[in-house]
Amino acid sequence: MSDDPTASDAGPEDVDLAEDAAFDAFDTLSAENAALKEQILRYAADAENTRRRAEREANDARAYAIQKFARDLLAVADTLGRALATPPAGEDAAVRNFVVGVEMTQKALLSAFESNGLKTVSPAAGDRFDPHHHQAMMEQESPDLAPGAVIQCLQPGYELLGRLVRPAMVVVAARSSGGGSSEGDGRGANLDTRA
């Protein structure tokens, strides 16, 4: 044997233990590295989702910022509509000019609504009642219209870029009360007549 203190006295078992320890440390570091990569990817995905949500909310805020303002102006549009629904009696030129001025004001207001994406929801008689766009104020029997059809629009509704601001107020055709004979179509056969 040599007297060199730097010479290694390690046997093959010691080398195997050192290699196993190195492999264990490598496996631990690899697992930790993979976990950190996964965590970074999650943080990056969260940041991207937050950025997209903030961008979508900012776009919605820009698009619908005028919603409250538009809702406040709907009362003005309704008042102008009612003013023009019943023209004043008489053939006075000043009154006619006043009515023309009110008509022009209403047209300008509706034009401003439309140019900003605010559209009128005004169902015609016979249109199907849509609870997403209409508000039923009353039901009436109508021999001419099917049950659930709009009879009359009392007040138009409005939507802003596809989002309902105010529903249209309508009168809806009611189902018949079954006062007549029910033999013809069989719909009245299962009516409960108990009091």
CATH number (domain holding residue 108): 2.30.22.10
Do 106 and 120 have their domain in common? yes
Give yes or no: residues 44 and 117 share one domain: no
Would you say residue 2 lies in a domain? no
Domain boundary among 65, 83, 98: 65
- Does 187 map to a domain? no
Sign of CA dihedral 96, 97, 103, 107: positive
Q: In what order do the strands lie in the sheet with 163-166?
A: 118-121, 157-160, 163-166
* Chain mean position to CA 179: 42
Range of the domain at 49: 19-65
Shared domain for 59 and 146, answered yes or no, is: no
99 and 128 together in one domain: yes
Residue 194 is assigned to a structural domain of this protein: no
- Give dist(CA 51, CA 120) in Å, integer: 34
Residue-level pLDDT, tens digit, the chain, 195 residues: 455 555 456 566 777 777 788 888 888 999 999 999 999 999 999 999 999 999 999 988 887 788 888 888 999 999 898 888 887 777 788 888 888 899 999 999 999 998 988 999 999 999 999 999 999 999 999 888 889 999 999 999 999 888 899 999 999 998 766 544 444 343 333 333 333
Considering the domain architecture, whether residues 121 and 153 belong to the same structural domain is answered as yes
Residue 192 within a domain: no
